[in-house]
Amino acid sequence: MNKIILTILLSIFVTTNSVACTCIVINESLSKKVIKSFNQSDFILTGKVISKEDKRSSDKSQSSFDPIIYRFEIKNIIKGNINTRIVAIASPRDGSSCGYSFEIGKSYLVYGRESEQFSSITKNKLDFVSSLCDRNQKLKIVKKRELRKLKRLAKQNLKK
């Protein structure tokens, strides 16, 4: 009888799905990584985080998927059509849901997309979103080669 109970408990434990952020990391050159990220992004910018707003899907519960809305003062738009000096970028609350935690007062290189991911919470048709799996970095640690490559890609993109 104990073996049967143990088998049942083990099968429940083994088949339970857990969700966590998994970013695919490929061992390739910086240039290839930047090109791939450039092509996958709807926008790339440098900017300083000036505020953040905690959004929840409901008043009663908090989910790691709920967004944090970061407001950036844009310094430079490398790619994308952003017509304001201040832009709101959403990211999931928690790293386990691929959320990137931007720090207020810090400047970043930000890669992102337009998405409906948080539309039910933000009430926007589309939001700018970014995640842990994007090439976001504090601006002070970005390699100069990456910025040069991005500028060349942006110029090539304009010619198309």
What is the rounded radius of gyration, in angstroms, for the C-alpha atoms of the chain? 19
Ordered by where they begin, the domains of the chain are 2-159 (2.40.50.120)
Tokens representing 65 are 């998927």
- Comparison of pLDDT for 12 and 118, the residue scoring more: 118
> Within 13 Å and on the Cβ side, how many CA atoms surround 14?
6
Global pTM reads 0.79
Query: 44 pLDDT exceeds 90?
Result: yes
Tokens 């589309």 map to which residue? 126
CA distance 115 to 119: 8
Report whether 88 contacts 129 (CB < 8 A): no
Assign 10 a pLDDT band (cuts: 50, 70, 90): very low
Q: What is the pLDDT of residue 24?
A: 78
CA distance 62 to 66: 7
